[in-house]
Amino acid sequence: MSDETKKHVMIGIVVACLLLAGTIMYNSFSDGGGGGGTGDRQIALMCAECGGFEVSVDEYREMMTQQGPEAMMMPGQMQAMECPKCGKKSCMPAQKCQKCENIFVFGQARDKNYPDRCPKCNYSEMEDFTQQ
Ligand SMILES: [Zn+2]
Ligand SMILES: [Zn+2]
């Protein structure tokens, strides 16, 4: 992998983290006023034991609270979280493909420069977004 490609991947991962954090923050805000803004929004997670699944924003926020501040996402050092299903520390934030609903971990398709590219159908929301 060339340095240039590595840089793209890094930037992509950081952007993905920011997007994810922003989404959660936005959702936290939007239901702070009691307006019930979270709706049925789901956060995708990938557990090494249980595979991919989704939790509600509330459940996810609870998970984050239990992890403590040191578990907040740092670019390049995302930590595994405790899985709400099996209780093991093998859960990572994941991405759900908009096209085929496959759940996967960011950056799985490493030879491509968009970390949110679905390894199954090759669709990348980020690529779609940047090309508009
Ligand atoms: Zn699990
Ligand atoms: Zn897909």
pLDDT digits (tens, 9 = 90+) for 38-50: 457 899 999 999 9
Q: Which ligand is nearest to the CA of 80?
A: 1
C-alpha of residue 79 to centroid of ligand 1, in Å: 15
Distances (CA, A) of 34 to 3, 30, 65, 89, 114: 47, 8, 20, 32, 36
pTM: 0.60
Residues of the chain with pLDDT under 50: 32-38
Residues 116/95, Cβ–Cβ less than 8 Å? yes
C-alpha of residue 33 to centroid of ligand 2, in Å: 35
The Cα–Cα gap between 44 and 73 comes to 15
Residues 32/80, Cβ–Cβ less than 8 Å? no
Listed residues: CB within 5 A of ion ligand 1: 47, 49-50, 83, 85-86
C-alpha of residue 23 to centroid of ligand 2, in Å: 20
Instruction: Quote the tokens at residue 3.
Output: 């340095």
Q: Which ligand is nearest to the CA of 120?
A: 2
Residues 79/90, Cβ–Cβ less than 8 Å? no
The Cα–Cα gap between 129 and 6 comes to 21
Residues in the chain: 132
Q: Which pLDDT value is given to residue 67?
A: 72
